[in-house]
Amino acid sequence: MTADSAAAGAALSGRDDQKPAHLPNAPRNPGIPLDLAMFEGHGVNRQAAERRAASLGARRSVKKDHQAAWLINAVRCIDLTTLAGDDTADRVRRLCAKARQPLAPHIIQGLGIENLRLTTGAVCVYPTMVTHAAKALQGTGIPVASVATGFPAGLMPLNLRLEEIRYAVAEGADEIDIVITREHVLTANWQALYDEVAAMREACGPAHLKAILATGDLQTLRNVYSASMVAMQAGADFIKTSTGKEGVNATLPVSLVMVRALRDYLDATGHAIGFKPAGGMKSAKDALNWQFLMREEMGRDWLQPHLFRLGASSMLGDIERQLEHHVTGRYSSASRLALA
């Protein structure tokens, strides 16, 4: 990478002389009492949201070294994920090996980032796979995330969902990706949604809670905004678009509405909440567009793994191919690179 590219990478990573406003050791969101005034009656203009989202990739273009820097930053924000019915301990260990070394050695050397010690943001698995991931990642500092609470539908009794959270944490999970009861949103039962998420946050203990809203099931952008606000009021550390199992998963207009909600919550409370789009994102271009969204709406601080994650695995393969092309000038077959 050139000096310009190195500077761009440093800026994306927050490694410069300007101290970020929200550091990883900042206090967690303690939540606040349910406040309907923060979201009821809050209109969302769908056409305006769609126009704004469409402008992100059209107005901004990054090339060559600067594009490489953005893609490297995307790697460090990826939650490398396997959530398949045929998951095995060996598959999880392979995924963890990829998380520890997400790019091939010749790409790392060609980019000149050997000292960056690049890893993905986390590894995300089912609760029964947490112990395998925790052992494989021991000493690396890479968090283990676990889905829980009856993922992906969440249609289990609350006491069983809370017990699943406790099980995953006891197995070694550092983060819990919970799913909300969509019915509470669709019927505007905000107290029930608040109480549910607050109980889940308590069950997480020291583990951070990422609240999956399953936005593809919520019908309106107003519901997306309201559910985002209630989850944050109840103590969520992150809000997340999707399980990846809905018919419609992460989209830029939905993400824009959620990001505006967390910005409003920050303004009202002073607490910085993270954001995780997930599902349907497969390309390096997707990785760029969602980072552009965070940079333009929230600023540079939200381009760091403690405030931004990308829920994807196949995306990493395309990023690696793009970075290899940047280094060598050639595209390799996807089968030449290690699987995520």
Which residues are marked as active site?
A: 177, 240, 276
**Helix locations, the chain, DSSP H:** 3-13, 46-59, 64-75, 89-100, 105-111, 130-136, 158-171, 182-186, 190-204, 221-233, 252-269, 284-298, 314-328
HEC string for 246-262: CCCCCCHHHHHHHHHHH
- Report the DSSP beta bridge partners of residue 210: 177, 238
State the DSSP code for 278.
Answer: B
Q: What is the largest CA-CA distance in the chain?
A: 56
With vertex at residue 307, the alpha carbon angle to CA 174 and CA 277, rounded to the nearest 5 degrees, is 90
* Alpha-carbon span 14 to 23, nearest angstrom: 10
Token readout for 110 is: 């060609």
The answer to whether 213 and 177 are in contact (CB under 8 A) is: no
* 276 sits in which H/E element: strand 274-276
Within a 10 A sphere around the Cβ of 146, how many other Cβ atoms?
29
User: What is the C-alpha to C-alpha distance for residues 161 and 158, in angstroms, rounded to an integer?
Assistant: 5
Q: What is d(CA 55, CA 32) in angstroms, rounded to the nearest whole number?
A: 34
8 Å CB contact between 254 and 291: no
